[in-house]
């Protein structure tokens, strides 16, 4: 499916950083869902650069609902969102078209597309494409919320600053949404300072982000290849910079014994729950009704202005690269709404597969 | 696709732990590939319980090539492998049919299948199903090897014992294959002792395993949803017990700065290479020609014989579970050939998509 | 997907005519559906050669339920059915391995599989593979019947003999099922005589078959590429010998004016119905609640014993072929249960997609 | 996949008749293919209403290349084409929003989308959406032509006028392309007169169209579910008004004996060819190297201005409908470039799957 994900609800992304527009087609969504343009704009704003810790390229993200919406609601047919690129300075990139930024997609794009790729601003590999995902995800999030399913993503760790992990997802989601930097604890200044410190040294930082989902019914996902973990992981690795994913305590579980890692079941108000949630709400690939929690490793932005050793892949020779252009010293803040949005799309797909295409519509 | 994975080369798994057989259909493989039954048997043997650190249920794994093979070679049509279950003692499981083993799939299977699932020995969720994957992967591995692509998996970490990470994949693969416990360093006794220590305390252990792939061409994978990372992750989470995946230095990258995490490119013998490989051979979701390396977090086996707090999900009440039956105190050794096999299948699919269905055939 | 069809309920076929077995994996079916072995056997019997108008190769079709069935019901996990080949006389085919039977798949298989295909008895292209489809379809048909959805296929036209088209599907399905040759009118002797006439002249005949489905809800199918017509057509062309499909009056509609071809809507007992059904129950790719009716053109069996002009595709020279072996002078009778079964599988998939995976289970 | 088709090259359609725009995303096309805007415009012109025999709604079809094109060539990333709707008169449709046009999708859309569908001008079901398909197909057609693969569609039969079938596809394609009405014989006036005759009686006509493809290699397609016939049929039924498809002599074959229907093979200039082509270039679902030929039954346009009996599906009562608005009395001329374009997309997908993603690029 390449640039598409999903089985019953299918998201397709398109666009290049410096082309006319980026966008998405979201196909298979239930009819009748509200399309709240203000909420979409709000979510796009959370992804937008906002201060010295982000890139200087600020796009207004004026989105257009091209299809699939009628009188403010989804029609059930493909919903297309177009977000024109307005603040484009391609000249910045002219010099680097054949010089590979280390650990960026420049060289691999060349190996795949033989020089026909649009090299300006990372082309189709640009984080710019995630604007469309956020817009689509906003619609999905509201549909999920109407079914009692809520989700969000916060910075768990960044440049030595450590946030608290989710313990009570719903209340913590409210805290996260209220802040400019999505954090459970009051660490915004510390994170911003750490990013600016790296920036001042012409460098960048990464971090770990954590997504929490509450309200999912038990029984979602499949054994084997469509495990919810596998499906969410495939989605997560679509986001540039993600190099690892773990569910629940993930790599931490690997160091435990079974008696420590197992989450005991118990009855609570007639429902089956677990006393701990080290497995992140998923057993055997299928939800158990507890919050689904996963962490993503986000590597530091590869585009840094420090001189770096690399190659000119057309001339086939070693060169030193001193990068100019507008880059994020960290994407850790901006990636959070992207992962939330993409996760929301995946959940809508899973629910539609399990309960039918009208499931989210019939609230 | 549920129990299937792949686009051009498609693997489907079926079977229950105590049913007549487990097996796979492998569809879309190039015609004319050798089907080396001795090599398949050898790979199955690497997955088979072999000693006190494994379950007492030892299956002969007598596989049958039901379709898709003619005169010792693949025909190009669906290749079906059947592995009958011969050593079945379902009585062990009679007692636990409605009592959920903590962190196992018992309860989630109930939520999904409403009591119609085959509960004996974990049913379709059983690791037994991976025997078919190993058999299919054996054919794929030989096809890849004929193209110069080699891969394998070793135990990187288990119960305090730490193996060396891959540095020179090809030579280390030879070391791994020669041993009963797949390890680069000579730590077999230590790992086995650690597993037996847990077993003696009616407990289990997990660990981290590492897969290395050498010889892949640059340019494999897609931006966004079919990134090679996403595709391999979806496959990996199919394997029971996997709770995390990271590529290259993964979560370690999240703590670095860009200047530390980036892999500098340089020319070597007319080829583009990187001086380090912290990104695990993948940039922007696409191979860069360096070895692909990823780690999987494997949680401790949830089936332990210590008494555990849980519920009877039919009666809806809290119970204590004292598990009997034959279980692995660790799957860390046996999971390695499974992950290698599944990765081999995924790579055959990726190569067929990129270079055509005859790519592996025309050597 | 190659040898698989479906999105939520997925059928995969495998096997060769003279290999160990043919079979299917049916994945995604709701849990708890009865698996009625007697009914499966009965449906297989309807497909089996039965008299001088069919091939002399009669297989007992002893099927094995390898996975996905527990205590007589579907588990919801992949259901695998294996049907061993028992009556195999491959020697008949030895001579023709490089001589292409005109209009058969021998030459195209060579072009695709480069000589590695199993040539015995048509290999994977053999109608033998449809036995597995019939077995899978039997389970699906009973699940549909429990929801009030019934379907069947009859011979509409064969060698000059003309049956009546469906007018009242449900009652006519009963008539069809009761007969050895599925016909609405009492024309069994005429059809059999026509087939035997061709056989006596070392020739074969084709015909047109008609499938009727009653009880489908309105609203099934998608606009554009997953129109119910498109999905059913893709399935139908999988069956060897099918060269055309038309819905409702199909090609006949092409000669009419709109005022003649349109089916007027009217209310009946509070339901929307149409006065005529020239469009075969589908408008805009989506069911309108009337019976779905389609016709398939079945070409005469290409394997005839008359001498034919052809080529040896390995030697690259013209040859005359005088075919021996056991062949059907017509498949028109035996193809009917195959098309019914495959249609039943497709309908289960469509219903699961629309109404959720448990839709058929919750009756 | 709903509004998408393809495996390696994937086409997604979106848009409503009276919404902001219609369009497509074409994903997976090889990089480096020329994007000839003049040729796209020319193909769009062939689909555009052009005279009294077509609808009075004439759109300028000013298309925008939103993504996937750089410096006049495909980049290999998703190629998005947007075609704004400029000539919209939705008021025409206000009256009919709850009155079902007989044999149109109005009622089935209601059954599927529960009243949330965009009803203006047929919404997403409108033939307007095919403009995007034609634009995408134009790029594919030029890529195929560079590989020696040519294709086209002509009116075979319409309202009593009968064109000649393809006999020498390549030369006949040139004749067809040169005319306003795609016909092999000089029958343009007769066809137009027949359409106008129906129009003058407030009625509509259908017909049969024929597509021919020359230059395909042998060995394309799969046995069973991805037979080239099945894949092309699924695509064809996406086009509104198509009610039947037949390959080669199709339904005509059903009346023949095997000795008449079989196409004898023979050697010609070292290549395997057939003396006749009654099977339309496909045996066992796979191309045999002869031209692929298929016919489509196109029903008369359901939107006619004669009074018709129907229902108001919201009020649940019988009503008489006297349709106003701008409609085609026949789509037989305009549908030809649509089917050609869609077929071109499908062929690019098939070739990419078989020979790799760069196959069309490397000429």
Q: Which residues of B touch D353 (CB under 8 A)?
A: 8, 353, 356-357
Nearest to B356 among D77, D223, D354 (CB): D354
pLDDT level of residue C92 (50, 70, 90 thresholds): low
Does residue D4 belong to the interface with chain A, where contact is any CB pair within 8 Å? yes
B95 pLDDT band, cuts 50/70/90, is low
Q: Is C10 in Cβ contact with B27 (below 8 Å)?
A: no
* Residue A100 C-alpha from the chain's centroid: 25
Residues from chain B contacting residue A274 (CB–CB below 8 Å): 102
D90 is written with which tokens? 């939705």
Neighbours of D338 (CB within 10 A): 27
CA distance B288 to B8: 22
Task: Give C348: exposed, middle or buried? Use CB within 10 Å, 0-12, 13-18, 19+.
Answer: buried
- pLDDT interval class at A362 (50, 70, 90): low
> Could you read off the pLDDT of B315-353 as tens digits, one per residue?
999 999 988 777 889 999 999 999 999 999 999 999 999
Task: Provide ipTM, 2 decimals.
Answer: 0.97
**Strands (E) located in chain C:** 4-5, 10-15, 21-27, 64-67, 69-70, 73-74, 79-84, 150-158, 161-162, 207-214, 242-247, 265-268, 271-274, 282-283, 286-287, 292-298, 308-312, 317-321
| pLDDT-based confidence at residue D156 (cuts at 50, 70, 90) | very high
pLDDT class for B91, splitting at 50, 70, 90?
A: low
Distance from CA of A355 to the nearest CA of C (A): 4
- Cα–Cα distance measured from residue D212 to residue D331, given in angstroms and rounded to the nearest whole number: 19
Place of tokens 């995969």: C12
Q: What pLDDT, on a 0 to 100 scale, did the predictor assign at position A96?
A: 55
Cβ-Cβ contacts under 8 Å for B94 (sequence gap 6 or more): none
For residue D95, name the pLDDT band (cuts at 50, 70, 90).
low
Query: Looking at residue A239, what is its pLDDT?
Result: 98
- Asked if A247 has any chain B CB less than 8 Å from its own CB, the reply is yes
The predicted pLDDT at position A363 comes to 52
Helix pair A335-355, A130-146: axis angle to 10 deg: 50
Average pLDDT for chain C = 95
C275/D contact by beta carbon, under 8 A: yes
Contact C316, C306 (CB under 8 A): no
Higher pLDDT, B87 or B145: B145
Q: Tell me the C-alpha distance between D131 and D59, whole Å.
A: 10
Mean pLDDT, residues B130-140: 98
Nearest-CB residue to A104 (from B100, B283, B287): B283
Quick check: C108 contacting B, CB < 8 Å? no
**Inter-residue contact D300 to D308 (CB < 8 Å):** no
Residue A25 pLDDT > 60: yes
Judging contacts by C-beta atoms under 8 Å, the chain C residues touching residue D278 are 103
Q: Identify which of D27, D70, D124 has the shortest CB distance to residue A2.
A: D27
- On the question of pLDDT at B89 being above 90, the answer is no
Half-sphere exposure of A230 (CA within 13 A, CB side): 26
Q: DSSP 3-state assignment of C320?
A: strand
- Give the three-class secondary structure for A310: strand
Interface of A with B in 26-85 (CB under 8 A): none
The answer to whether D121 and D93 have CB atoms below 8 angstroms apart is yes
User: Do D2 and A10 make contact, defined as CB atoms within 8 angstroms?
Assistant: yes
> Chains near C, with 3+ CB pairs < 8 A?
A, B, D
Closest by CA to B81, choosing from B4, B23, B12, B3, is B23
What is the mean pLDDT of the segment spanning B247-274? 98
Query: In this structure, what are the phi and psi dihedrals at residue D69, rounded to the nearest 5 degrees?
Result: -130, 135
- Name the burial class of residue C260, with classes exposed (0-12), middle (13-18) and buried (19+) by CB atoms within 10 angstroms of its CB: middle
- pLDDT tens for residues A275-304? 999 999 999 999 999 999 999 999 999 999
Beta-carbon separation of D355 and B356 below 8 A? yes
The alpha carbon torsion through B288, B355, A7, B243 (nearest 10 deg) reads: -40
Which of A96, D31, A128 lies closest to B265, judged by CA? Answer: A96
Instruction: Report the C-alpha gap between B291 and B282 in whole angstroms.
Output: 9
pLDDT higher than threshold 90 for residue A324 = no
Q: Rounded distance, CA D294 to CA D292, Å?
A: 7
Hey, are the CB atoms on D300 and C253 less than 8 Å from each other? yes
Neighboring chains of B (3 or more beta-carbon pairs < 8 A)? A, C, D
**A248 close to A277: Cβ distance less than 8 angstroms:** yes
- Please provide the distance, in angstroms rounded to a whole number, between the alpha carbons at the two ends of chain B: 31
**Residue B166, SS3 per DSSP:** coil
Instruction: Give residue C363's pLDDT band: very low, low, confident or very high (50, 70, 90).
Output: low
Answer yes or no: are the C-beta atoms of C176 and C152 closer than 8 Å.
Answer: yes
**Residues in chain C within 8 Å Cβ distance of B70:** 16, 19, 116-118, 123
What pLDDT is attached to residue D305? 92
Q: Which chains lie within 8 Å of chain A at 3 or more CB pairs, if any?
A: B, C, D
Say whether pLDDT at D92 is over 60. Answer: no
A4 in contact with chain C, both atoms CB, cutoff 8 A: no
D308-312 and D317-321: which strand pairing? antiparallel
- What letter does residue D250 receive in the DSSP assignment? G
What is the token pair recorded at C55? 């091939």
Residues D149-174, mean pLDDT to the nearest whole number: 96
Whether residue B93 has pLDDT greater than 60:
no
pLDDT band at C331 (very low <50, low <70, confident <90, very high): very high
Res C295 pLDDT > 90: yes
B99 DSSP β-pair partners: B312
Comparing CA positions, the residue from C292, C263, C289, C260 lying closest to residue C276 is C263
CA distance linking residue A225 with residue B323, whole number of Å: 28
> Cα–Cα distances in Å, from B213 out to A302, C84, C190?
24, 39, 66
With a CB-CB cutoff of 8 Å, which residues 314-353 of chain D face chain B?
Answer: 353
Q: How confident is the model at residue A243 (pLDDT cuts 50, 70, 90)?
A: very high
Residues 6+ apart with CB under 8 A from C130: C47, C239, C240, C335, C338
Mean pLDDT in residue range C228-242: 98
Q: What is the phi-psi region of residue B316: left when phi exceeds 0, alpha when psi lies from -120 to 50, beta otherwise?
A: left
pTM attached to this predicted model:
0.97
User: Considering only alpha carbons, which residue of chain A is nearest residue C355?
Assistant: A356
Residue C290 has pLDDT above 70, yes or no: yes
Query: Residue B271's pLDDT band (boundaries 50, 70, 90)?
Result: very high
Residues in chain D: 363
Going by pLDDT thresholds of 50, 70 and 90, the confidence category of residue C50 is confident
- pLDDT of the residue at D53: 83
Helices (H), chain B: 37-47, 106-113, 130-145, 169-177, 188-200, 228-236, 258-261, 335-355
Instruction: Evaluate whether B71 touches B31 at the Cβ level (below 8 Å).
Output: no
**Measured between CA atoms, how close is B28 to chain C, in angstroms?**
7
pLDDT at C183 over 90: yes
Name the band, by pLDDT with cuts 50, 70 and 90, for residue B138: very high
How does pLDDT run across B155-214, given as a tens digit for each residue?
A: 999 999 999 999 999 999 999 998 989 999 999 999 999 999 999 999 999 999 999 999
| pLDDT of res. D49 | 87
Strand order in the sheet with A4-5: A4-5, A10-15, A21-27, A79-84, A64-67
Q: What is the pLDDT of residue D87?
A: 81
Indicate the helix (H) or strand (E) that contains B79. strand B79-84
Query: Which pLDDT score, from 0 to 100, does residue D204 have?
Result: 97
Assess C210–B contact: CB distance below 8 Å, yes or no: no
Of C85, C81, C93, C136, nearest in space to C118 by CA: C93
Which two structure tokens, joined as six digits, stand for C68? 């996905």
Question: Three-class SS of residue B190?
Answer: helix
pLDDT of residue B325: 72
C-alpha to C-alpha distance for A251 and C312, rounded to whole angstroms? 61
Q: How far apart are the first and last CA of chain D?
A: 31
Cα–Cα distance list, D107 to D115, D306, D309 (Å): 10, 19, 14
Residue D14 near residue A68 (C-beta atoms within 8 A): yes
Within 10 A of D254 (CB to CB), how many other CB atoms are there? 29
The residues pairing with C213 across neighbouring beta strands, listed in sequence order, are: C151, C292
Judged by phi (left if over 0) then psi (alpha if -120 to 50, else beta), residue D312 lies in beta
- What's the sign of the alpha-carbon dihedral D326, D328, D334, D335? positive
What pLDDT is stored for residue A93 in this prediction? 56
Q: How confident is the model at residue D325 (pLDDT cuts 50, 70, 90)?
A: confident
């Amino acid at each position: 499916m390449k640039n598409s994900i999903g089985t019953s609800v299918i998201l397709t992304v398109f666009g290049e950083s410096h082309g006319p527009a980026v966008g998405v087609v979201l196909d298979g969504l239930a009819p009748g869902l509200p399309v709240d343009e203000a909420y979409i704009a709000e979510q796009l704003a959370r992804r937008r650069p906002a201060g010295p810790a982000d890139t200087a390229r600020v796009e207004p993200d004026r989105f257009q609902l091209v299809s699939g919406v009628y009188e403010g609601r989804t029609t059930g047919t493909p919903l297309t969102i177009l977000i024109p690129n307005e603040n484009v300075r391609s000249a910045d990139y002219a010099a680097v078209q054949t010089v590979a930024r280390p650990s960026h997609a420049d060289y691999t794009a060349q190996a795949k597309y033989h020089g026909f790729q649009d090299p300006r601003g990372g082309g189709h590999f640009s984080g710019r494409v995630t604007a469309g995902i956020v817009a689509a995800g906003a619609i999905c999030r509201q549909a999920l919320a109407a079914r009692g399913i809520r989700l969000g993503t916060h910075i768990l760790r960044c440049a030595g600053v450590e946030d608290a992990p989710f313990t009570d997802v719903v209340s913590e989601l409210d805290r996260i949404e209220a802040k400019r930097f999505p954090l459970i604890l009051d660490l915004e200044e510390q994170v911003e300072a750490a990013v600016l410190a790296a920036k001042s040294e012409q460098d960048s930082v990464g971090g770990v982000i954590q997504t929490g989902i509450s309200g999912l019914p038990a029984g979602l996902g499949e054994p084997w290849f469509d495990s919810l973990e596998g499906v969410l992981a495939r989605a997560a690795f679509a986001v540039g910079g993600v190099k690892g994913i773990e569910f629940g305590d993930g790599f931490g579980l690997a160091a435990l014994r079974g008696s420590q890692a197992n989450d005991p079941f118990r009855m609570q108000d007639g429902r089956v729950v677990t006393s701990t949630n080290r497995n992140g709400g998923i057993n055997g690939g299928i939800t158990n009704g507890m919050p689904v929690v996963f962490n993503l490793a986000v590597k530091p932005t590869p585009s840094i202005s420090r001189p770096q050793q690399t190659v000119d892949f057309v001339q086939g020779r070693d060169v030193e690269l001193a990068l100019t252009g507008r880059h994020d010293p960290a994407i850790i803040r901006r990636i959070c709404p992207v992962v939330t949005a993409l996760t929301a799309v995946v959940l809508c797909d899973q629910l539609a597969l399990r309960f039918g295409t009208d499931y989210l519509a019939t609230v």
